[in-house]
A and B are shown apart, each in its own frame.
Chain A
Amino acid sequence: MTDWQPSAPLEQLRQRARLYRQVRGFFAEREVLEIEAPVMGAATVTDPFIDSVTAQCGGRPYYLQTSPEFALKRLLAAGAGAIYSLGKVFRDGERGRKHNPEFTLLEWYRPGWDDRQLMREVEALVLSVLPGLTVTYLSYRQWFERHLGLDPHLASAGQLAALARERINIEAGEEDRDFWLDLLVTHELEGTLGPGLTFVYDYPASQAALARLDTDAQGQTVARRFEAFIGSMELANGYWELTNAPEQRRRFEADLARRRALGLALYPMDEKLLAALDAGLPESAGVALGMDRLLMCLTGARSIAEVLAFDIDRL
């Protein structure tokens, strides 16, 4: 029998439509403009751990967006003001209970704001659809210190490795600090989060991605990046945006060097984004939030397939 039926119960799809109406209402009230970003791009992200899906058009390759970030930043540089996009993004190889290679991202930018202010707005948005959640703010350092007893900014790769090997069964050799940090976060720390909404902020400088670096109260260089979790599930990732074009180019180059060392596909850098940064990106904060996961929390779905009309297995 051909399995033609949807993966989500129809009620989930109605719930999704209601959620979209609520989200669009939230931003309309705050005068944030909805943008429809192109799904195809001539360039794509260089992140070592994000793989793009490619498409052919007019005999040349294009990349399906992994987030609308670069398009939205070019609009910010063009003076668009506060903007958001609610649309499909694609990440190759990501499939599982909480992942589908094609998913829906809500991404928005606030010129003139920093990450602290934006976290409050994420909180307001999430509480508007999930009222009554407890909200916790926790720095990345506090998270590690409380549960693992070490400072993630100062611990050596060796110390992190020793701790991880004690608790997690994995075959690994000489790895960098970020490898061990990611392993400890996913295996040991995410599970410690309470059932409400938690913000983790001030990430290690080595995990800045597109966030600016800053010095925290202890004099430590940190990335002004945050993540939001509902329960132990990652929901959103935000930055006080890096606006410095030469620094951005250096990070792209470092990413590509890392990809080369790992034997991964090499993508072209987005020169149009760099040109926009060069022309001047307003100081701003931005965040991307997984709508499918928000819907999972809203409906109590156990897997992402339960909130998608057709997941990857039903295409």
Chain B
Amino acid sequence: MATYSINDFRVGLKVMLDGDPCNIVENELVKPGKGQAFNRVKLRNLKTGRVWDRTFRGSENLEGADVTDLDMDFLYTDGEFWHFMDPITFEQHQADKAAVGDAAKWLSEQDRCVITLYNGAPLAVNPPNHVELEVVETDPGLKGDTAQGGTKPATLSTGAVVKVPLFMNQGDVVRVDTRTGEYLGRASKD
């Protein structure tokens, strides 16, 4: 992989730091007119998701990380691995529990996900921002309470639990934002 000096740093660059692949999420040159130049960088560790600040100076170099993001369709899970397919090359990849992480509770077959490959193997799975899932378990709905009021927990077909309005029933399909876990609305059943 290429080596990058701090002048090459830009948002989105993937580099190796302390042995882990990282994504640069912020990069700012700070330099007193007469003084030493520093780059204040915010990095996301692509393995752990942790974001942290680090300052680099003029002479430092970092190794590039072999990381690419690809769109892939979720096929199925066998309990141990989650299987995905590249819709263009039909190449299949299996992601383990660590790579799938929280995405697991949102995935249903055919969902188009963004898979981050590190050295050719899935490192992280990003589910679609919005998914539509069926309510499989919740307290019975309250008639007439369609306008406002409280919420109640509902278990969805993938196992995720989200807060839904009181009028929702088992068998209803809900639209959920996977980034926040928030209920967005009722979706029409097909």
Give me the interface of A with B, judged by CB distance under 8 Å.
47, 49-50, 93-99, 168-172, 178-179, 182-183, 185-187, 190, 207, 209, 227, 234, 237, 262-263, 288
Asked if A168 and B55 sit within 8 Å, CB to CB, the answer is: yes
Minimal beta-carbon separation of B137 from chain A (angstroms)? 46
Residue in contact with B34 in the complex, picked from A98, A186, A207, CB distance below 8 Å: A207
Asked if A99 and B31 sit within 8 Å, CB to CB, the answer is: yes
Asked if A187 and B40 sit within 8 Å, CB to CB, the answer is: yes
Q: 1/0 per residue B48-63: CB within 8 Å of A? A: 0000111111111000
Asked if B7 and A93 sit within 8 Å, CB to CB, the answer is: yes
Asked if B29 and A183 sit within 8 Å, CB to CB, the answer is: no
A-B contact pairs, 15 of them (CB 8 A): A50-B34, A93-B7, A95-B29, A96-B27, A97-B28, A97-B29, A168-B55, A170-B55, A178-B35, A178-B36, A182-B36, A182-B38, A183-B55, A227-B32, A234-B33
Residues of chain A within 8 A (CB-CB) of B28 are: 96-97
Residue in contact with B54 in the complex, picked from A98, A169, A185, CB distance below 8 Å: A169
> Assuming A96-B29, A262-B59, is B34 touching A49 (CB within 8 A)?
yes
Q: Does B98 reach chain A (CB closer than 8 Å)?
A: no
Residues of B68-118 whose CB lies within 8 A of A:
none
The docked-state distance in angstroms from the alpha carbon of A171 to that of B62 is: 13
Closest A-chain residue to B60, C-beta based? A171
Asked if B37 and A187 sit within 8 Å, CB to CB, the answer is: no
Asked if A237 and B33 sit within 8 Å, CB to CB, the answer is: yes
The docked-state distance in angstroms from the alpha carbon of A101 to that of B28 is: 15
The docked-state distance in angstroms from the alpha carbon of A183 to that of B30 is: 9
Residues of chain B within 8 A (CB-CB) of A186 are: 30-32, 35, 38, 40
Residues of chain A within 8 A (CB-CB) of B31 are: 49, 94, 99, 186
Minimal beta-carbon separation of A109 from chain B (angstroms)? 17
The docked-state distance in angstroms from the alpha carbon of A310 to that of B97 is: 48
The docked-state distance in angstroms from the alpha carbon of A50 to that of B29 is: 14
Minimal beta-carbon separation of A167 from chain B (angstroms)? 10
Give me the interface of B with A, judged by CB distance under 8 Å.
7, 27-38, 40, 52-60
Residues of chain A within 8 A (CB-CB) of B32 are: 182, 185-186, 227, 234
Minimal beta-carbon separation of B158 from chain A (angstroms)? 38
9 tightest A-B contacts by CB? A96-B29, A182-B35, A170-B55, A186-B30, A182-B36, A237-B33, A169-B54, A209-B34, A49-B36
Asked if B57 and A227 sit within 8 Å, CB to CB, the answer is: no
The docked-state distance in angstroms from the alpha carbon of A178 to that of B57 is: 14
Residues of chain A within 8 A (CB-CB) of B57 are: 170, 172
Asked if B34 and A187 sit within 8 Å, CB to CB, the answer is: no
Residues of chain A within 8 A (CB-CB) of B35 are: 49, 178, 182, 185-186, 207
The docked-state distance in angstroms from the alpha carbon of A178 to that of B56 is: 16
Residues of chain B within 8 A (CB-CB) of A99 are: 29, 31
Closest A-chain residue to B35, C-beta based? A182
Minimal beta-carbon separation of A215 from chain B (angstroms)? 22
Asked if A49 and B55 sit within 8 Å, CB to CB, the answer is: no
Residues of chain B within 8 A (CB-CB) of A179 are: 36
The docked-state distance in angstroms from the alpha carbon of A307 to that of B129 is: 36
Minimal beta-carbon separation of A166 from chain B (angstroms)? 14
Closest A-chain residue to B37, C-beta based? A49
Closest A-chain residue to B41, C-beta based? A169
The docked-state distance in angstroms from the alpha carbon of A186 to that of B38 is: 9
Asked if B56 and A170 sit within 8 Å, CB to CB, the answer is: yes
Residues of chain B within 8 A (CB-CB) of A95 are: 7, 29
Residues of chain A within 8 A (CB-CB) of B60 are: 171
